[in-house]
Structure 1
Amino acid sequence: MPLDLVTLRCLKDNYAYLLHGEAGTVLIDAPEAMPILTELNARGWGLDAILLTHHHDDHIQAVPEIVAATGARVIGADTDAHRLPPLDLRVRPHEPLEVLGEAVEVIDVSGHTVGHVAFHFPDSRMAFTADSLMAMGCGRLFEGDPAMMWDSLTRLNALPGGTLICSGHDYCSGNGAFALSVDPDNAALHDRLAAIQEAREPCAPATLEQERATNPFLRIPELRDGLGLAGASDAEVFARLRRMKDEF
């Protein structure tokens, strides 16, 4: 059975996610304890594990309080372990991981940070991408370079189109405005932004198919000529777009 997903708003614009099934409940990232513990208590759920995507404080700072309250195990990337809270399980891309009875793919999505991972639950058709692939955007490159992030987005874009992309922040206003600036005739983008504004659909999660239709960082072929980069590689076009977004 697919796992149930609960999306939680934390801090100013972070998302955290609870996944629940017959085998228990897990949390992806821990920005703020109160909304997470409140939701668990309201639903009568315990917490078995916390999966961490990367080391930034707004994704890990509530781990000690949540662990103290629930006894949850902490799971994170082996390569990032020196910057994460103490881990009960270190994971690596391409190595097997089972969570709540479901096989999980750990994907290297370095770029925003080096050692950032995404967690793909293929049976439940969800991918927790945090600050790599985001709603109508991608994470700023604090540690990696454009080629690294482009490789990461390419790996995520290879997932099935129906995969729900569960990203780490609500940056829809800024991401949407930038997307419109480089892709103004995109009807799907206009429709998505209108639906978000009218609250007919959330900013995130969104399917990968939706991101392919509206996210400029996944629309390199459609945007290449308009950027004056007809002969450029995909990675070069991505680098230009990312630089433009940084300056937007």
Structure 2
Amino acid sequence: MVLSLAVITYNEEDNIVRLLNSVSDIADEIIVVDSHSTDRTKEICLQDYPKVQFFEKKFNGYGEQKNYALELCSGEWILFLDADEVPDNDLKKAIQHVISQQNPEYSVYRAKYNNHLGIHLIKFGGWGNVCKERLFRKGSAKYSDDKVHEFLITNEKPGFLEGKINHYTYKNIHHHVTKINRYSDMMAEKMFERGKKINRFKIIINPVFVFIKVFIFKMGFLDGFPGFYIAKTMSYYTFLKYIKLYEKIRMIELEQKYGNFL
């Protein structure tokens, strides 16, 4: 059966080569949907990888972008990966075994993760037991329309694949903080659209709770200083998304109260 790899990209020149080198031997076609990158992502994909079909689409949210990529896939099976994810050899063999069967047991399969922060493999803090749906029959699943933190929607019971996906999260602290800022923007917008309310007490307390949950209850401290860094930045992300939501709500309230006087 034909296997399509789907991936969405934006300025992924540092990651895309590693991914495409890894999967070119198992994917029959590679669908890349790019959000008008300003680096060499497009050049790399079109110049060095003949299986790649490269499309450009304005980014309106992760869910919409991923569903657009799904529509472009022609294979009976779809492997959906992020640009910073790489399947190990055991996972690639498991994928090939599934798609070679006439009637595999499942239509949706999940894979376990190795999450890396720089040179560190993170085993705790909620990062060590991640498992996501990544392989599925075309038409058996789609992504939610969420701008951020989208998820796969399916009525199928998932199976599990042997092997793991190596997830290389952030190049450096600057890259990480930039993504936190962008994700918190989208998350605040998502919460606002859903009518979520926020008060100052939650803005103060929730980030503290997140740090304690990740570092203590989920044993992030066992990862040492990288575990502390993860707990601290997750707390910071929580603070940002709530303070941005609060700002958005307050601005609208003030506009309604004072109108053109602002």
State the TM-score, normalizing by the size of structure 1.
Answer: 0.37
Higher helix share: 2
- Greater RCO (CA < 8 Å, at least 6 residues apart): 2
Higher CA-based Rg: 2
State the TM-score, normalizing by the size of structure 2.
Answer: 0.35
